[in-house]
Amino acid sequence: MSFKKMTAALLCSLSMAASAVSCSSGNGSSAPENGGDNSASSKADSNYTISLDSFADTLGAGWNYGNTLEACTAGTPSETVWGNPAASQEMINAVADAGFKTVRIPVSYLSKIDDNNGYKIDEAWLSRVNEVVDYCYNRDLNVIINMHGDGYNSIDGGWFLCNGDNQDYIKEKYAAVWKQIAEKFKDYDEHLIFESMNEEFDGEYHDPVPEYYANINSYNQIFVDTVRSTGEKNTHRWLLMPGWNTDINYTTGDFGFELPTDEQNTAGEGRIVVSVHCYDPWDYCGDESKGKIFLWGKKGDEIIEVNKASKKSKPNWGDETYLAGQVQKLKEKFVDNGIPVIVGEYGCIDKTNGNAGIPNQIAENRAYWDGFFAGTCASMGITPVYWDNGYNGPYGFGLFKRDTAEQSQPEIIETIIRAVNDKDPDAGMSTKITSYTSQKADEKKEAGAYIGIQTEKYTFRNSCTDGQYGAATEHFNTLIRWEDTDGDGSDDIVDAGAKFEDAVIKESGTYTVAVTGYDFSADSESLNMLFVSTDLAYSPKVGIKDVKLYCDDTEIPVKNPVVMEDANGNLYIELVNKYNDALSPIDYTMAKDSFKIEFTIEGVENVIK
C-alpha cells in the first residue's frame, strides 16, 4: 500500500480525511537489549534456521515499521520526512514487549543508488538499514526488509517499474542493488528474510497486463538468483516475493504469476515465500470519506442493533465469509503445497469520527476486523503482518505512539496477538474500548482554537492534540520546515519564522486564527492542508457558520468547510485537504505573508459552563 500510506497525514492534522509461536530462542523469552550472547552480532553469526513446518508459528504476529525507512521526498529517502521520528531500539522494544514476533521494515533506495558508479548504494544509508535490522535482532525478532518505494510510478525517482521502457537497465540495476544488500547481510541467520519488492504493478487499477506481469516474474527470478549467488547464509535464507500489486486474486488466480526456481537453495527444503496484502473491504478498511462506512461484519451488526447506528454504515461486500475465502485461496494454492505465505500488510484505519456518539464501539469494530483477519490467517498457517504507518487519529493505522514508544491502541494490539496465538478469528468479539469517551462539558471553562497548515513541501503546523508537534510540545508555536542544516544527511527542524494568532473561546461569537510573517508563495505552489483545531469538546449542539478565509488581505470564498470531531473528541474545521476528494476545492493564491481564518461559533454554552 502506498499512496504514501497516508504519509502526509503524519505531518498534518488529526483530520487527515484523505486524507504482525515461538521466536528464535525457542522459548518465547525476550532477549536483552544489547550485548552478551543475545546481541545482534552474535545472533547474526548463529546457525539459527526456521523450518518449513514451523514457519508460520515461528513468525507469529507481525508488525510493519511503516512510513519510516521508505519515507522520501523529491526522490531522496529520509526516514523522518513523513513526520515519524527516526527508528529506535525503544520502539522495537515496545513492539517486542507487546507480543509481536516479526517486524517488516519497508526500505526505499531511490537517489541513494548511484547510477554512475555501478549502481552503488550510499554506504551510510545501507548502514542505517543494518542498524535498524540490528534493533530487531537485539530483541530476538524475525525481520523482513524489502525494496519499497523504488517500484512506484507515483513516487519521484521511482525507477523499478514493470511498465518501464528500458527493462534491460531496470533489471541490471535491480540485480546490482540486491547483490549489495545480500552481501551486507550474508552472515545474518534466518531471523532475516529478504522481500524482493513491494506493490509492483503499472499504477493502474485493472487486470494485470501480461507483458508487465512477465517482468515481475523476471524480477523475482533475478532476486532469487542474485541473493543465492552471494553465498554464506544467503544460500538458504527465506525469500519473500509478491505477484501483481500483492493482490490475492491476481496471485492465486490464472493471471500469470509464476514462482521462481530456486536451484541454488542449500536448505534441503523450500525457502520461497509468497507475499500478498489485504485491505478488504476497502470502503471499510481504507476509504477516508467521512461518515460513510465505519462498521463491519457481525460485530457491526451487533453495534447497529444495540446502538441504533445506520445499516448504511456497513459495506455491502467483503464480510467474514469473503475474507475467510480469500485466505483459503492462499492456503490451497500455496500453503498446502509447501509454499508459506506472509500477508505483509493488512489493517483498517481509525474511523472513530464516523459517528460522534459511538466512537468506542467503532474502535471495537476495528479491533474485531483486525483480530478476525489475523486469526483467520493463523488458523490456516499464514503469517499476518499489521500495517502501522505511525499515525494515530482519524484515518490513521497507528497502534503505537512513535514519539514515546507507547501503545496507543492496547486493546487492538492485545486482540491481534491473542487472535494469532490462539488461531482464533473471533478474538475481537469481546474486546472492550473506553478510551474515546468525549470530554465532559463541565471540565472546561474555556477552550483554544488554533490554525493548522501544511504546504505541499511539508512546511507545517500540526493540530493542537498532535503528540509530537501539538500544544504540549516545544514546537507547537513553530512553523516547521525540515532541512539538512548540519550536512549529516538527515532532516532537522527549522523554525520558518512565522507567528501564530490563536483564539480563546469562552462564549458564542466570531473568532479569528492566523499565521503571519512567512512567504508561502515562495515555499510552494499550493497547500496540502489548512484547518482549525480546537480543544473544545465536539457536540452536535455546537454550530459553525460564516467561515471566511483571507490570503493576505484578500477574502477567499469558502463554500463547504468540513466540521467534524477529531479522535480526541474535539471540534475540528477543515478548509483545505488535498487528500480528501469529498472536500469542496477552494480557489486561492498562495499568500505572501499570511493566512487568516474567521468563523462564527454558536452553542458554546452547551459545552463550556
Kindly list the catalytic residues: 199, 345
CA 425 and chain centroid, separation: 23
SS3 call for 199: coil
**What is each CA distance from 288 to 6, 19, 274, in whole angstroms?**
10, 6, 29
| Bond into 85 cis (ω within 30) | no
Of 253, 250, 354, which Cα lies nearest the Cα of 295? Answer: 354
State the Cα–Cα distance between residues 504 and 131, nearest whole angstrom.
46
Residue owning grid cell 486524507: 19
**What is each CA distance from 466 to 309, 393, 403, 515, 531, in whole angstroms?**
29, 9, 11, 18, 14
Amino acid making up residue 299? K
State the Cα–Cα distance between residues 591 and 538, nearest whole angstrom.
30
**What is each CA distance from 224 to 178, 235, 264, 276, 529, in whole angstroms?**
10, 10, 9, 18, 43
Element (H, E) at 415: helix 410-421
- CB count within 10 Å of CB 329 equals 17
**What is each CA distance from 155 to 72, 183, 344, 554, in whole angstroms?**
9, 27, 20, 35
Q: What one-character DSSP code corresponds to residue 35?
A: S
Is the dihedral angle over the CA atoms 115, 116, 119, 121 positive or is it negative? Answer: negative
Question: Would you list the DSSP string of 541-584?
Answer: T-EEEEEEEEETTEEE-----EEEE-TTSEEEEEEEETT-TTSP
| Grid cell digits, residue 44 | 547474526
Residue owning grid cell 541490471: 172
Q: How many Å from the N-terminal Cα to the C-terminal Cα in the chain?
A: 46
- CB count within 10 Å of CB 323 equals 22
- CB count within 10 Å of CB 139 equals 24
- Give yes or no for a contact between 96 and 50, defined as CB atoms under 8 angstroms apart: no
State the Cα–Cα distance between residues 151 and 198, nearest whole angstrom.
7
Amino acid making up residue 172? E
- Give yes or no for a contact between 433 and 360, defined as CB atoms under 8 angstroms apart: yes
State the Cα–Cα distance between residues 160 and 150, nearest whole angstrom.
5
Amino acid making up residue 438? S
Residue owning grid cell 502501522: 388
